[in-house]
Structure 1
């Protein structure tokens, strides 16, 4: 969903089909209050004013050097024929590398991806190293003019998100978090209101990896290493055909960040850490 080649502006130009630049005019309201994990579920953010869906971008900048690698498993509702013709929207090698390196991660999965790769979706969801979150069912945009993605009508937004949760249940995916990532990273207040009854926390990011359509793994690794700060959320992709360099970039990024003292966590841990509100780093 995003291409970051030296600048976010260029990323938005190049990322026509899969982008994660964030839409112009994205609401910048005060950070919602986090709600800690309880016996009934994982940590979330409390709804914003008038009950709108809360948005999480990164944890507080503290002395705790944590970072969350997130991977969007993208597949649109109409890409079945391309998959049938041999195009691969999965990336088993990337998942294997994360396991080998013992890197926790959050996978934002579309319902259509889970239906196309049910065994892989179940494997990811049953592995305690990972957690699965919602990336919509259809991967259609929730705002107009979102990098060329088809637009879903406002009246169908909540149903599309719930359809993805239903798809996860049908194929047997476990460890599904109440977190949602907007396709293309595009949202506005209308979209936040439309999803308020779905009970999700929207999860964005503060580090753009630039892996979508990239073939230079070193450039992707540099973008991540240059952008990460304590509490960062990094957006990457688990889509072999659209992000072929991601696995190689991860192999470069992980040891370097560990050398800097970073610890990899899932998004749920960052949201939980936000609740504790430790002292900010100057």
Structure 2
């Protein structure tokens, strides 16, 4: 890898860690109304049932694994684990230095049945930007992913979970729902895989959305133990759209357990 690309990646990783450290609360910081998966399901028309697969999260004890800010060098190992365990996940991908750097991994994520989603182009805090900048951060990643997979994402996660009316309006314009979370291992702050696992298990609950990052050293090794223990507790792993089914993700809506 050229030295300049390596330097850029190191700076991006450092920026992500610093940004994550500022995140307020477990579920992100939002100044807009949010909708829980349970509420989305309850409000859905019965005719939409089964659209996202056979799992009915109105009956099953569902939970969603999500991974932010990749793909990275460890993502193929993560995909091996998910394939072996038959666990679907949702990947909120960064455009610059990630989607562009690992197009074959992005293609594999899509081909293996995971949900490919948008985490902006450079991880800028959207609520600090003007409308054109917000649009560029989201649309560039939309286009880059579509070029690889043939499909634009329908979900996005705002960096730090920070959103507002303008972010919501532009997300709606671009056909994107916003997805926050209920479980965080704060894996940006530790390489201890056992600690990451224990933090997730302590917070896990039905209809939960787990936030992890496949770019940090301790995270991918923690995933097999997380999956094994949650399966033992009766959880069924689903993608975020499956968690909402029979509802369909609504552009502009902010989903948070």
Residue in 1 aligned with 2:184? 208
Which of these residues, 85, 104, 120, is aligned with residue 88 of structure 2? 104
Task: List structure 1 segments (4+ residues) > 4 angstroms apart after TM superposition.
Answer: 22-25, 32-38
CA deviation string 1:194-243 (max 9, x = no partner): 3331121101111112212421111111111111111110011121xxx1
Which of these residues, 163, 182, 190, is aligned with residue 187 of structure 1? 163
Residue in 2 aligned with 1:56? none
Q: Which runs of 5+ in 2 are unaligned?
A: 1-15, 249-257
Residue in 2 aligned with 1:21? 23
Contact 2:90 2:116 in 1 (8 A): yes
User: CA separation of 1:142/1:42 partners in 2, compared to 1, >3 Å: closer, same or farther?
Assistant: farther
Contact 1:126 1:174 in 2 (8 A): no
- Aligned-residue Cα RMSD (Å) equals 3.1
Distance 2:202 2:52 in 1: 30
Contact 1:125 1:176 in 2 (8 A): no
Contact 1:125 1:174 in 2 (8 A): no
- Is the partner of 1:199 in helix, strand or coil? coil
Contact 1:122 1:174 in 2 (8 A): no
Per-residue deviation at 1:72? 0.9
Per-residue deviation at 1:191? 1.9
CA deviation string 1:11-65 (max 9, x = no partner): xxx9414458358862352638566796xx969xxxxxxxxxxxxxxx98x6521
Distance 1:66 1:122 in 2: 26
Contact 1:63 1:230 in 2 (8 A): no
- Is the partner of 1:143 in helix, strand or coil? helix
Q: Does residue 1:67 correspond to 2:63, yes or no? A: yes
Residue in 2 aligned with 1:198? 174
Matches within 5 A, 1:28-67: 29=33, 31=35, 64-67=60-63
CA deviation string 1:140-166 (max 9, x = no partner): 11123xxxxxxx433221232111111
User: If each structure's helix is expressed as a fraction of its own residues, which one has the higher value?
Assistant: 2
Structure 2 length-normalised TM: 0.74
Matches within 5 A, 1:69-218: 69-74=65-70, 90-112=74-96, 113-128=98-113, 130-144=114-128, 152-170=129-147, 172-174=148-150, 176-218=152-194
